Structure 1
Amino acid sequence: MRVKSFWKYYSGQEIAPVLTIFIGGNHEASNYLWELYYGGWAAPNIYLLGFAGVVKFGNIRIGGLSGIYNAPNYCLGYHVREYDVHKLMHLEEPIDIFLSHDWPLGITGNLQQLIQQGTLGSKPAAQLLEKLKPSYWFSAHLHCKFTALVEHEEGGRVTKFLALDKCLPGRKFLQIVDIESDPGPYEVQYDEEWLAITRKLNCVFPLTF
């Protein structure tokens, strides 16, 4: 395993030039991410949403789910966990942006060469997509750029889905999206509803794997 450059940010030797909010995927050092299970500053100007979390940036509400879905481990203490999905399913207030590493099941478009319908994708993420109906859903994991519009039956709402490629030269790993918002302050703030859900469900927090 090769050590890349994130250690420089983690140690404070380098500072991210813009505020960065992220979730865990399937290649991070999970022992370090466990230290921020509920979210927090992984490095100066770099905020981890935790294994599941919701924050506000100005009046933009951002939620996320770390890890990838693995059916045999869904009820255990690693990968995407049923407990974290259960907490997110309790959200009632609108979500503007949602982050997941693997794609929700069913977003296949014309990528039949990459995805076989019903066999690759995250079932819990699909459930969250249908429940939360965020304005935007951003993913990664499949190492390709892909966009889709997900139309929801209730209320005619639409989720704009975007996945980006690996961060390598010549790859489509960056896209700028303009989202309307009220004037600042533009800073990471705790979300009141998420704090209430976390407190309410703390009594059933799984303490064993």
Structure 2
Amino acid sequence: MKVAVEGCCHGALDAIYQQIKSLEDRNNYKVELLLICGDFQAVRNHRDLQCMAVPQKYRQLGDFYKYYTGEKVAPVLTIVIGGNHEASNYFWELYHGGWLAPNIYFLGHAGCIRANGVRIAGASGIFKNHDFHQGHHECMPYDHGSIRSIYHVREYNIRRLSLLSKPDIFLSHDWPRSIEQYGDTQGLLRKKPFFRQDINSGNLGSPPLMGLLQTLRPDWWFAAHLHVRFEAVIIHGDGEQGPGSDNPPAVPVNPDEIVISDEDIECDLVTEAVSLNEVRTTTTQNPDEIILGDEEEFVEAPGPVIPRSETKFIALDKCLPHRAFLEIVDVEVPHSSGTPTEQTTPLLTYDPEWLAITRAFHQYFTTTPRQATYPDEPTARAQVSAELEWVEENIVREMPNDSSKSPLCVDNCQIFVRTAPGPGSEGSAKLQQPPWYTNPQTVAFCSMVGIENSINPSSST
């Protein structure tokens, strides 16, 4: 399956789809799936812009509203995660995942889905240590602090993702911490010399994500955020242990990123047609790789020897002319995917294991700053195992021959519904945050999984 991967979108959907079409015409192939690694900016109208953490001068509608209102339809199935410049109110409506627009699916604050049987997991947002251990306490209208903390990764979601078995693909906005040590570090520094201090101190990237990478060991890991193309290969096995950290460092400031401050900044969010550097499919290892031993702070304890495997990591740039923002990769589809031969787009289905994790961890979900106490890992895995039996019995049942008719098919549970109006209807409230909207897709998902809808149980006035 031909998969296109995009770095930061910044609302430039037209340019991204145009570039994919150009590559298809030039190379005589068909891209079946597009993955976008955050800063997607699902802005439906001007009031949504007031829920996006960027200075006023950068609050631009972008292209998404055209796909939301039906003016345009995404030409390829698109799966996205969130970054740190999002209309966070809309992403919260679909906390568990759902259709942002026809053919554009949000993976949720954390999630795992299958496209033609290919397991795609991901984590939205960026890491900030001071919010990592808190509950999801933000509510509308967002104030100066909550409009930022709403997109900070929570331990709750990292713990849930860590219970997954191996996914094929993982999406994040942040880079995993110290990932640069597994690729051409000096080449990265030539492109981004201001990374040197953070690289030398071991502070580049997100510690929880490196822990997930070592735990999940996906075949592919795609990221964005730092606005540069970078590739690496991480070898797992031969006694290598996964890292973790009790006191992870802060994520470095990227001067090429949109700065969240009241100061005047320079950031060009161009949405015109773009050109792409030649697609590269090879990856390299860093001969000067720093081997992480037991003395590293995030190595907690030896674990079992794991089978040898590798993760191909690719980070991509933002959507601008002459920038390496798009990558085409070939991903093997499982023979048992059960996709109908006449299926023209990949079949999107729920992952039973993720549904079980969602059920098992729902009791620890909180909408207050104080996070509920988590179980230890053996207990958590036992809970997931028990819930997987529930999922098999109550949702999966007997699988029909046609997977599109399966209860696991996303379209058989979640159907796109416009909850907010498009642009032009805001009137005098154009610069105010919007009212709360209850999303029927979240209601349907919670009903299917058998959990309370703690995300949007009723409309606000």
Bin of the TM-score, shorter chain as denominator length: over 0.9
Deviations along 1:127-180, one digit per CA (max 9) or x if unpaired, are 110100000000000101111101112211100001111111111111110111
Q: Which has the higher helix share?
A: 2
Cα offset for 1:60?
0.5
* Structure-2 separation of matches of 1:82 and 1:104: 15
Query: Aligned AA for 2:126?
Result: I
Structure 2 counterpart of 1:96: 168
Matched, 1:168 2:320: yes
Structure 2 counterpart of 1:133: 217
Aligned match of 1:5 in 54, 58, 63? 63
1:184-203 → structure 2 map (5 Å cutoff): 184-185=339-340, 186-203=346-363
Structure 2 counterpart of 1:82: 155
Matched, 1:41 2:113: no
Structure 1 counterpart of 2:146: none
Larger Rg computed on CA atoms: 2
Q: Is the 8 A contact 2:178 2:203 kept in 1?
A: no
Deviations along 1:21-78, one digit per CA (max 9) or x if unpaired, are 1100110110110000000101110000000000011120000000001111112333
Q: Which has the higher strand share?
A: 1
* Structure-2 separation of matches of 1:12 and 1:101: 27
Query: Aligned AA for 2:92?
Result: W
Structure 2 counterpart of 1:146: 230
Query: Aligned AA for 1:204?
Result: Y
Q: Number of aligned residue pairs: give it.
A: 208
Deviations along 1:7-27, one digit per CA (max 9) or x if unpaired, are 111222221100001100110
Structure 1 consecutive aligned stretches of length 4 or more whose deviation exceeds 4 Å: none
Q: Unpaired runs of 5+ in structure 2?
A: 1-58, 137-149, 238-305, 341-345, 370-461
Fraction of identical pairs, as percent:
52
Tell me the C-alpha RMSD between the 2 structures.
1.3
* Structure-2 separation of matches of 1:27 and 1:82: 20
TM-score (norm 2): 0.44
Q: Unpaired runs of 5+ in structure 1?
A: none
Matched, 1:63 2:135: no
Query: Aligned AA for 1:73?
Result: D
TM-score (norm 1): 0.95
* Structure-1 separation of matches of 2:207 and 2:366: 21
* Structure-1 separation of matches of 2:119 and 2:327: 20
Aligned match of 1:28 in 75, 86, 90? 86
Secondary structure of the 2:130 match is helix
Q: Is the 8 A contact 2:79 2:105 kept in 1?
A: yes
Cα offset for 1:119?
1.4
* Structure-1 separation of matches of 2:328 and 2:168: 16
Matched, 1:52 2:110: yes
* Structure-2 separation of matches of 1:12 and 1:37: 23
Structure 1 counterpart of 2:311: 159
